[in-house]
Amino acid sequence: MTPVRRLAANAPCRCDSGRKAKGCCLPVLAGTPAKTPEALMRSRYTAYAVGDIAYVMRTTDATGPKGRADTQAWAAEVRQFSDSVSFDGLEVRAASQSGDTGEVTFFATLAHAGGDVSFGERSRFVRRDGQWLYVDGDRLTRGE
């Protein structure tokens, strides 16, 4: 496994929250459950950015459409994405929570091999045993 890229505690968090990593995604990646769907979504963006493949996988609803039985192939795909894409920005446009479900609409600025692979998504989340999990999402067209 490629080592996780460093997320410095006092550096601005990779999720563009404007907070330091130690007051944002760093403790969440270290095991403190995200308090909201937005916090979970931000931590997953940061996990992709720093290469924390295991975190991406364990915060995906294994019983949902994004869960994969072949965890080795899944890990390889997540790693390929994480390692080959430049994570250049995150903008959370809307976030809501109703009991143990939530939605977050975001736009991620990404580049791959010199091309723009940015996308927006309305993501769905579910909370089980105190842990928010990513279920799936709908891609948004640019500007939506």
Task: Count residues binding Zn ion (CB under 5 A).
Answer: 6
Q: How far is the CB of 100 from Zn ion (least distance, A)?
A: 22
The answer to whether 133 contacts Zn ion (rule: CB under 5 A) is no
- Using DSSP bridges, classify how beta strands 85-98 and 115-116 pair: parallel, antiparallel or unpaired: unpaired
Residue number, 33 or 67, with CB nearest to Zn ion? 33
The answer to whether 17 contacts Zn ion (rule: CB under 5 A) is yes
Structure-token match 């091309």, residue found: 115
Q: Which of residues 38-57 bind Zn ion (CB under 5 A)?
A: 42
- Asked if 92 and 41 touch (Cβ cutoff 8 Å), the reply is yes
Q: Which of 7, 24, 47, 49 binds Zn ion (CB under 5 A)?
A: 24
Q: How far is the CB of 96 from Zn ion (least distance, A)?
A: 19
Residue number, 14 or 124, with CB nearest to Zn ion? 14
Residue number, 17 or 59, with CB nearest to Zn ion? 17
Residue number, 26 or 78, with CB nearest to Zn ion? 26
Contacts to Zn ion by CB under 5 A:
13, 15, 17, 24-25, 42
